[in-house]
Structure 1
Amino acid sequence: MSRGIRARYAMKTDLYFWKFAFDIIQTAIMVGISIYVWIATKHKVNADKIAQLEEAHNKELSSVKNRLTEIDTTIKNMPARDQISRIHRRIDELSQSVHSMNGEMKGLTDNSRLILDTLVAKEKQ
Structure 2
Amino acid sequence: MINGPLISSQRYLDRAKVVDKAYRFNRFYVEVYPVVLRGKQYTLIMDGHHSYAAAKLAGIEPTYRPIRKKLAKIFKGMTQREIEVLLINNITDSHLYYVESGEVVEELAMPEVRG
What interval of TM-score do these two structures reach, taking the shorter chain for normalisation?
A: under 0.3
Higher relative contact order (CA 8 A, sep 6+): 2
Higher strand share: 2
Task: Please state which structure has a larger fraction of its residues in helix.
Answer: 1
Max radius of gyration: which structure? 1
**TM-score when normalising by structure 2:** 0.15
